[in-house]
Chain A
Amino acid sequence: MERFKVNFQVNGEPVELDVRPSETLLETLRDRLELTGAKEGCGLGACGSCTVLLDGLPTRSCIVLTAEVDGSEVTTIEGLAEGEKLDPVQESFMEKGAVQCGFCTPGMILTARSLLDRNPRPTREDIIRSISSNVCRCTGYKKIVEAVEAVSSTETPET
């Protein structure tokens, strides 16, 4: 079978792999790199459970081929904390009770992180619009929105 050689970064570490043309980024992350934080919820880009950051932008890794990410930088949920120090979004999700079953949580957190990186003081509407790319079946989204709002108010000082 034809293979592609792909070089990219995952959570700051260089990765070099031979991949099948049909191999998705989600398969590579989960099966080959054992980064199982990204989940497969639907397999067709509808639910957002597989969200990772591709060059900083939330991306559905179940519908991206690994062969396409050559030269890119991928951040998964495992790469968000620095050692034991959690990202403020992770902390806020815990404190605000935004986590229930936890299956959507990695994708939600990465989506929120990316929003805050691009727009440090989003309005409530901005947050709702942004996380409406991801399905959560447990929380009703209220505490997720509150968790993101709380980070935005502490991360950026009022100007």
Chain B
Amino acid sequence: MDREYTIIGTRMTRTDSLAKVTGRASFTADLKLPRMLCAKVLRSPHPHAKILNIDTSKALRLPGVRAVVTAADAHGVKWGVFRYTQDHPMIAVDRVRYVGEDVAGVAAVDEETAMEALDLIQVDYEPLPAVFDPEEAMKEGAPLIHEEYPNNVNIHVHIEVGKVDEAFARAHLVREDTFHAPGEAYSTLEPYAVVASYANGYLDLWVPNAGPHVRAKALSNLLKMPLNKVRVRRINVGGHFGSRSEVSPGDLVTSLLAIKSGCPVKLVLTREENATCTRQVHDIKATIKTGVNKDGTITAKEFRVVYDGGAYSSTGPIATSIPYYVYEEAYRFPNVRYDGYRVITNKGIRGMYGCHGRAFLGGNEMQLDMIARELGMDPMEIRIKNGLKVGEETATKSVIISGGLEEPIRLAAAKANWAERRAGLKEGEGIGMGCVAVMCGFPMGFRSGSACYVKLNDDGQATIVTGICDTGMGNESMAIQIASEVLGIPVEDINLVNADTEATNLDPGAYSQAASFVGGNAVKRACEEAKRQILSFAAAKMNHPVEDLDLKDRTVVSKTDPLKKMPMRWIVREAFFQGKPIAATGAYMPKIDFQREWVKNPYGQMAGTYSFGCSVAQVTVDRETGQIRVPYFVAAHDCGNPINTMAVEGQMEGSVLQAGVAVLAEETRWSQGWLLNPDLLEYKVPLACDMPEIEPVIVRSNDPEGPFGAKEGGLTTRMNAYSAVVCAAHNALGVPLNEFPLTPDRVLKALNAAKSGGES
């Protein structure tokens, strides 16, 4: 099986890594264009205020200032991912709704001049009452932040399947718990940056993005420019994790400045601006009620989840749904009611995160352990019993076509010696397990699919052109590796043109876990069509049956006769002679129910396929100080079949950091709408010395639809590592831990509460 492919499944050195180890890989802030100006943004100092007047005249008179823009220069278009969520003007018009909101932009010859100009812009504000807590914001009489959202409820997702109340009434055991986790910072190492250049009616943009096509479309709407005049270019991206998927106010401000000044403009956010003024992670409070039979079968689930969305919708309907979906995609819920409320508050905008939904997912898994303990079951046993299998449907009617939860659980448990390790735990040690399943691609209408072109060049080398975008995970290398496998040429023979809206065709982008399953499939299909053309020319030229021909090592070979072969470049040249150069298109559209809608109709096939995963964490807890450490971690992820084994491991290991270790410390702290820890000294991210010993386990379910059986490469770990650690901490301490992250103060508080309340 392993030798079925030449290069798929190997530990291939990523094709992008040479540029990155030599410092030659350019990121947006590294770009320098002739006559380029420096941009700075004036931001709201109020969490909620009316704008009475903006006077930019003094700033414009400052020598060296080339342009100042405000909402008056924009086109009155509000941004929203969906038609019904278009609420964000991107540059404040007559009202600001969070501290840090973009109010005006300046382009000047250098940074000092731009900063000085910001001080010269006079904005008259009339402060308004503000609200920061989502539960408070939902109450009658709370300040209304957007007229169109009564009680500040931005999105309400309601899902109801089966007979929930009846099932609870009949359940052998019912538990209800509430869990809360504050928001976090993505902390992508690259702060947000934009370079915009405008000439001859065309706008060129370089910006860290996770999908150039959706970005260009959003900007064409905001700028009221035809889509073919907005070109988003390929650029290296310094991390993503969900933060780069949506158009950002900086994109609009910088574009307007470039248009107005006639010069290229660069905006680079500081780390503090990045944390305050680009999207960050939702604060989530989840009330979870579960009913089970005597044997541990889950019979009913009920959820009320409140998401603090900050000031605008962003990806609201998706963000309000995903934590639930990655859970129902893992487990069988015959009767379930989900109510997710995304609430507007006067804080920075909240978006999707690679480990979005920690309070919900960690809470569900910890509660499952509490139930298992009451029933005398092993946490592994109750998970396997309720885990979805191939052929089954999720509660909201998505069919599972490969994988299933049992195998990742069994393989993770085997790697960790689950039973022995659990039996051998000492005082202060605990072990826990967390599971999810993840959709490979969201329904995005006609943008759910991807298309790829390939051309064979006159020396037998190939160029592939695809919208696939790489934000650090290795998608570019993945596309080249797939082309190499199909075309039988080494990766160094393949050039990639990607993520450039002028050159490439539609692609859903590097989020929703679609890149390998959808984009990879399109690359594979394009290359297969090119291969078909090559073999057909070769069959004629070599006078040999086409069925017996194949491509290998830059050569057309016979499958049966080792002497029968011909260099591929001869065939390619022959095709040029005949006026039929080898060029092919391939596309892939996942089998999704496009009637499905996040709010109005949350039922039907969500994605083409699902990946399954299980993490196991071991922790040690100091009961005196409340300090938790994670010495050991196993992550099992069903990626279908790994394209690049090393890259898949890398995704899983990074996920252990960003979810599994982050649960011990990461949180954003607020006071009256001000973010208190916007920098990397106050917001501490895990370092090498904080990391456990990690054992990644790649699970192969060989997906029938995926390219070479591949699904997505590691997101289940990002979504369940948090759960494994909180379950392990619960196992070590024996008390409920309802407040995340598990900082020493919260752990001590939980221990004290249990002591005084006599909780189990």
Chain A residues within CB distance 8 Å of chain B: 30, 34-44, 46-47, 49, 76-78, 80-81, 86, 90-91, 93-97, 99-106, 109, 128-129, 131-132, 134-145
Contact = CB atoms under 8 A, between A and B. Distances in A.
Interface in B1-35: 11, 13-14, 16-27, 29-30, 32
A143 B653 contact: yes
Contacts of B650: 97, 100, 138-140, 143
Nearest to B644: A97
A136 B189 contact: yes
Interface in B630-682: 646-647, 649-650, 652-658, 679-681
Contacts of A81: 22
B191 A41 contact: yes
Given A94-B17, A101-B471, A141-B688, A41 B653 contact: no
Given A39-B27, A43-B271, A44-B680, A100 B654 contact: yes
Interface string B555-597: 0000000000000000000000000000000000000000000
Given A100-B473, A101-B237, A137-B239, A90 B27 contact: no
Contacts of A140: 650, 652-657, 691, 694
B688 A128 contact: yes
Contacts of A97: 11, 13-14, 646-647, 649-650
Given A81-B22, A97-B646, A145 B688 contact: yes
B472 A100 contact: yes
B687 A132 contact: yes
Contacts of A139: 650, 653-654, 657
Contacts of B18: 94
B26 A138 contact: no
A46 B653 contact: no
Contacts of B681: 42, 44, 46
Contacts of A34: 32
Contacts of B16: 99, 102
A132 B685 CA distance: 11
Nearest to B689: A132
A122 B473 CA distance: 29
B368 to A, nearest CB: 26
A34 B188 CA distance: 23
Contacts of B679: 42, 44, 46
A129 B271 CA distance: 25
Contacts of B32: 34
Contacts of B654: 100, 137-140
Contact of A137 (B23, B189, B652, B653): B189
B238 interface: yes
Nearest to A41: B189
Contacts of B706: none
19 contacts: A42-B680, A43-B270, A43-B271, A44-B680, A78-B22, A93-B17, A99-B14, A99-B21, A101-B188, A101-B236, A101-B237, A102-B238, A137-B658, A139-B653, A141-B691, A142-B653, A142-B691, A142-B694, A143-B649
Contacts of B449: none
Interface residues on B, range: 35 or more
Contact of B238 (A35, A94, A103, A144): A103
Interface string B273-302: 000000000000000000000000000000
Contacts of B239: 101, 103, 137-138
A131 B649 contact: no
A79 to B, nearest CB: 9
Nearest to B656: A140
A42 B689 contact: no
A144 B689 CA distance: 12
Interface in B248-292: 268, 270-271
B133 interface: no
Interface string B167-203: 0000000000000000000011111000000000000
A99 B653 CA distance: 12
Contact of B657 (A41, A44, A141): A141
A42 B682 CA distance: 11
Contact of B14 (A38, A94, A137): A94
A76 B654 CA distance: 26
A90 B268 CA distance: 28
Given A94-B17, A100-B654, A104-B189, A37 B687 contact: no
Contacts of B325: none
Contacts of B658: 137
B387 interface: no
A102 B22 contact: no
B660 to A, nearest CB: 9
B689 A46 contact: no
A36 B189 contact: no
B241 interface: yes
B404 interface: no
B25 A102 contact: yes
Contacts of B471: 101
